[in-house]
Structure 1
Amino acid sequence: MKPTLLILAAGMASRYGSMKQIDGFGPNGETIIDYSIYDAIKAGFGKVIFIIKEEFVDNFKTIFEPKLKGKIEVDYVFQNFDLTKFGIQEEIYREKPWGTAHAILSAKNTIKEPFCVINADDFYGFDAFQKMANFLTNDVNDQTFCMVGYEIGKTLSEFGSVSRGVCQVNADGNLSEIVERTKVYNGEEGIVYEENDHKYPLQSNTRVSMNFWGFTPSVFNITEELFRTFALENKANPKAEFFIPLVAETLIKTKKANFRVIPTSSKWFGVTYKEDKPVVQNSIDKLIQEEVYPENLWS
């Protein structure tokens, strides 16, 4: 059974200033998602599912279905504020969705095969998709999940600090800890992160998570149970978010699952800031010149 690609596209882009999930970056208006799906098809994925807000479904269908018809199966699931489906009867006020781990629960009744999760606005590179497809086809099981680990030096923006999940990897190649560093940038002294007004160095080859995770469907029941607890504990905190690394850390600490860290040499790029757009466009142009991608992706 071919693995499925699950794309997180429900979040609005506050720092970027517009709906960057469907902004054009390629020479023919291709989105970053287009390149991810192209790489996923090439790597052997059989289905793509978009996690979106329901009001955007027509936009996504118009943009993606004509170009993907006959190439890969396409489906949509909606992230919303309905907590009753998780057994929570209490009404909890929220202005924004609950986060990435809550988002993947939207696909619980849709996915029956091994799958991976990616962000809509991140460019991951073919090497990462190929390695993920191999893992999901040959190695994944209900106690062995994975994440793709990028070198932090290949994931930074020129236009401001970024948040990165900094990973500790044990001797077996498994994730032992992931710590969110919310202010990482390239300073005069090299790559640093700031915390409590202090700067701490990071080696350029330090592995970080760019939210590229691989699972079996068994993760849904585990995540749902954790989310029920999280939502009730944070009902008075409308900004609390339930992220995938929280699930990963819980599974590691309780020894319910390991997370293999799959190293990639790919250079990540994305659009954290509006100023990142021409950098992404130039990077894509260069890959086209190197014949990594055709100029017209879907012709």
Structure 2
Amino acid sequence: MKPTLLILAAGMASRYGSMKQIDGFGPNGETIIDYSIYDAIKAGFGKVVFIIKEEFVDNFKSIFEPKLNGRIETDYVFQNFDLKQFGIEEEIYREKPWGTAHAILSGRNLIKEPFCVINADDYYGYDSFKKMVDFLTTEATDSNYAIVGYQIGKTLSEFGSVSRGVCKTNEEGYLEEITERTQVYKKEDVIVYEENGTTYPLSFDTPVSMNFWGFTPAVFKLTEELFKTFALENKDKPKAEFFIPLIGENLVKSNKANFKVIPTDSQWFGVTYKEDKPFVQDSIDQLIKSGTYPERLWK
């Protein structure tokens, strides 16, 4: 059975100012998602599931169904605020969704095969999709998961500092912990991060998480239990978010699962602010000129 690609596309994109998930960046209006799906089909994924807000389903279908019909199976699930589905009767006020780990629970009744989770607004490169398919079809078990580790030097922004989840691995290449480093940037050709007013160096090839995870459906039950605890503990924190690294951290520390850190030397780029758009468009143009993608992605 071919693995499934689960795309996180329910974010509010408040800093971008519009729905960046369906904004056009390619020469014919292609979204970043288009390039991810193109690579995923080539790599061997069998289905794409979009996690979106229910009110955007018609938008997504009108954009992606004509392109993907006959190429790969597609489906849609909705991230919402209903906690009763998790057995939580208490009303908890929220200003924003519960986060990426809560989002993947939206697919728990639909996905029955090994699957990969990615962000809608990040460009990852074919190498990562191919390596993840190989892992999901030959190595993945209910206690052996994976994360793609990008070289931090290939994930920085030209427009200021970034936050990155730095992966610490053991000698066998398995995850020991993820540490969120804020204020990461290049200073005089050296990559550094700031902490309490002091700067510390990071090597170019330090592996970081860019939200490219591989799981089996067994993770849903584990995540649901973690989410119940998180929601009740953070009921008075309307901006608290339940992120996927929290799943990884809990499962590793409790010895319930291992995470293989799959290395890639692919260039990553993403879009957070409107100012990022010209850079992303230029990056895609360069990939087309190098022959990585055809000028018209879906012919």
TM-score (norm 1): 0.98
Matched, 1:127 2:145: no
Partner of 1:272: 272
Which residue type is aligned with residue 120 of structure 2?
A
Kindly, what percent of the aligned residue pairs are identical?
77
Shift of 1:14: 2.0
The residue number in structure 2 matching 1:244 is 244
- Residues 64-73 or 195-204, more deviating: 195-204
Please give the alpha-carbon distance, in whole angstroms, between the structure 2 residues aligned to 1:164 and 1:67: 33
Q: How do 1:127-276 residues align onto structure 2 when only pairs under 5 Å count? A: 127-188=127-188, 190-276=190-276
Q: Which runs of 5+ in 2 are unaligned?
A: none
Corresponding residue of 2:89: 89
Partner of residue 283, structure 1: 283
The answer to whether the Cα contact below 8 Å between 1:9 and 1:51 also exists between their aligned partners in 2 is: yes
| Cα displacement (A) at 1:189 | 5.8
Q: CA deviation at 1:197?
A: 2.2
What does residue 63 of structure 2 align with? Answer: 63
Report the Cα offset of residue 198 of structure 1. Answer: 2.2
Q: Contact 1:142/1:216 (CA < 8 Å) preserved in 2?
A: yes
- State the distance in 1 between where 2:239 and 2:196 align: 21
Runs of 4+ displaced beyond 4 Å: none
Asked if 1:24 corresponds to 2:24, the answer is yes
8 Å CA contact 1:159, 1:273 repeated in 2:
no
TM-score by length of 2: 0.98
1:274 and 1:187 mapped to 2: Cα distance?
Answer: 24
Q: Letter of the 1:258 partner, please give it.
A: N
Bigger mean CA deviation after superposition, 179-188 or 257-266: 179-188
Partner Cα distance (1:89, 1:194) in 2: 42
Alignment length (residue pairs): 299
**Structure 1 alignment gaps of length 5 or more:** none
Asked whether 1:298 is paired with 2:298, we answer yes
- In 2, distance between residues paired with 1:167 and 1:15? 26
SS of equivalent residue, structure 1 residue 275: helix
Show CA shifts across 1:248-276 (max 9, x none).
01000010100000000100011122222
Displacement after TM superposition at 1:35 (Å)? 0.1
- Cα offsets for 1:214-255 (capped at 9, x unmatched): 000000000000000000000011111101100101000010
Quote how far apart the aligned CAs of 1:200 are.
1.7
Separation in 1, partners of 2:165, 2:17: 23
Q: Does the C-alpha gap of structure 1 residues 12 and 178 become closer, same or farther in structure 2, counting only changes over 3 Å?
A: same
Distance in 2 between residues matched to 1:13 and 1:181, nearest whole Å? 22
